[in-house]
Chain A
Amino acid sequence: MKHNVRNFYGNALVELGEEDQEIVVFDADLSNSTKTAMFGERFPDRFFNMGICEQDMISTAAGMASCGKRPFISTFSVFVPGRCFDQIRMCIAYPNLNVKLVSTHGGISVGKDGPSHHANEDLSLMRALPNFNIFLPSDPLSTYNTIKAIHNIDSPCYVRLFRDSVERIYDEDFDLDPFRSHILQEGEDIAIIGYGFTSHNALAAGRLLKESGISAQIIDLQVLRPFDERTILNAAKKCGRIMTVEDHSIFGGMGSAVTDFLSERYPTPVKMLGVDRFTESGRPDDLYEKYGLSIESIVRKAKEIIR
């Protein structure tokens, strides 16, 4: 059964709202899509729909945080951080305030709305900011656990969710640590790292590769900062080759982060799959195929690398 991860975000927010009176939630006229509306219905006094004012939303939430409130902010990944980067930098990152940004609809998963709405640069922007932790949940449990866990850290966090519905990767009762990267399939010929939606394609590709005699280690990154150095280092040592698969630009995204880390610690060839241009409207599946993120593209690329 497929699930919309945003519903698990909405549920987690409502639970946090029950537990913690200091939680406040902000949205910029997309609360039905981001699912912050669930919080808004339950706690109208602590929900602020700021209208289509992303810059104002960020600084207002930061002002609240400076008085001890714990804000969560949501809109589409293309608008936060894109529309309000300076506000995030000045009002949240620099003063290191406890504000959580949970953007939804990352990458080309948005599909038919087209390149104006394809968020392919948000991670590059957020990686450049000191003090921010960055989380990339992949499935219902991963999303829920991430939201519950970041509530306990007293510093800024960016969480990126996606639009497509997905199967569960982790069983509901699995004790999933959202601060770690997770090995979904063991292997030794190549390590394939995904996050969010691409973890699903990477896992499916790993299974197909196995059938053709290639043993791929599949990793669901889950968290970009703090970076799970141990898991990535072990994968590089074991497999000697890495492929990163991301629904984001290859300029400054997760592939870059993996490459930055390995080039210092254990130089390893890394093939980065991701976009390098403005994309176009289309069904997400067709876009994933055309821009090299589909299951078949991942299999094809892995075979090329290994031969």
Chain B
Amino acid sequence: MIETNELSKMCMEIRIDSIRMTTDAKSGHPSSCMSCAEIIGVLILDVMNFSPQNLSDVDRDRFVLSKGHAAPAYYSALSMKGFFPREELFTLRDIGGRLQGHPDMRKTPGVDFSTGSLGMGLSVANGMALACRLNHSKSNIFVLLGDGELQEGQIWEAAMTSSHHKLSNVVAIVDRNMLQCDGSTEDIKSLEPLKKKFESFGWSVFEVNGHDVGALQRTIREAKSRDDSPSVIIANTVKGKGVKYMEGVCSWHGKPLKDTEYNDAIRECEQ
């Protein structure tokens, strides 16, 4: 377990990298990365049994970034973990590069599954968990979902599959930043009462402040130790977290910062 202060700094690096990478690429979804920088950091850098050295180990953990548009944050964490050199981060979205706009398991070392079309990742995670069960493996399967993404019907098909098969090694984390592309989730198609929805689908539900690294470290570990049901962690987050004028502002979705804006933004994060 990495010391919480140390890990918090690494998560902030993920946030800053995401801003840099998308500014450099002049495209991408920085605010969607900023809301899940801590979640991704705690998972990949701390909780998961997963490294470039143990990829073929049957007991290693797996991760599906179902909200694939947060790829820059994922790539940043993977590079910290040693899957590829840091400089490569700035080839994001470049032609001929290995870092596609959305995760590609065939191109990017460390990516366990290709995503980008929302709503599919929980089913994929269930499939991995079922394969692990057949292999008598002890892997945990983690999947990060957007909250707007939960409007996809397939998510609820998959939620039934997880509980029907008692896939207790599946841990879903919802990046509950209350926003999607066009506005607030509660205005567009409300998700609440979200906790009750998951409970009624047979899941153990946890809630946590998704920017509190220590709380994430504890809660994710607790969730993965459940052995009677799948677990979901509703991580309350702020979209655009770290840069005041982006925080909770929907119009920043899918919009990179300009060269002129980004030094100030990074300074603000570093404070």
Residues on A close to B: CB < 8 A? 24, 45-46, 48, 50-51, 53, 55-56, 58-69, 86-87, 89-91, 94-96
Contact = CB atoms under 8 A, between A and B. Distances in A.
Given A68-B131, A90-B114, 12 more contacts: A24-B130, A53-B160, A55-B153, A56-B126, A59-B120, A59-B121, A59-B127, A61-B127, A63-B126, A64-B127, A67-B132, A95-B105
B157 A53 contact: yes
B153 A64 contact: no
Interface in B85-116: 104-106, 112-116
Contacts of A50: 161
Contact of A59 (B124, B129, B132): B124
A240 to B, nearest CB: 44
Secondary structure call for the B interface: helix
Contacts of A65: 127
Given A46-B134, A68-B131, A90 B116 contact: yes
A67 B114 contact: no
Contacts of A87: 120, 123, 154
B232 interface: no
11 contacts: A45-B134, A46-B134, A59-B121, A62-B124, A63-B127, A63-B128, A66-B112, A68-B131, A86-B117, A87-B120, A96-B106
Given A53-B157, A67-B131, A60 B123 contact: yes
Nearest to B102: A90
A59 B154 contact: yes
Given A56-B154, A66-B128, A90 B161 contact: no
Interface string B162-178: 00000000000000000
Q: Which 6 A-B pairs have the closest CB atoms?
A: A63-B127, A59-B123, A67-B131, A56-B157, A63-B124, A60-B127
B120 A91 contact: yes
Contacts of B64: 63
A64 B114 contact: no
A55 B105 CA distance: 20
Contacts of A24: 130, 134
A64 B135 CA distance: 11
B115 A90 contact: yes
Contacts of A68: 131
A231 to B, nearest CB: 33
B246 interface: no
Contacts of B119: 55
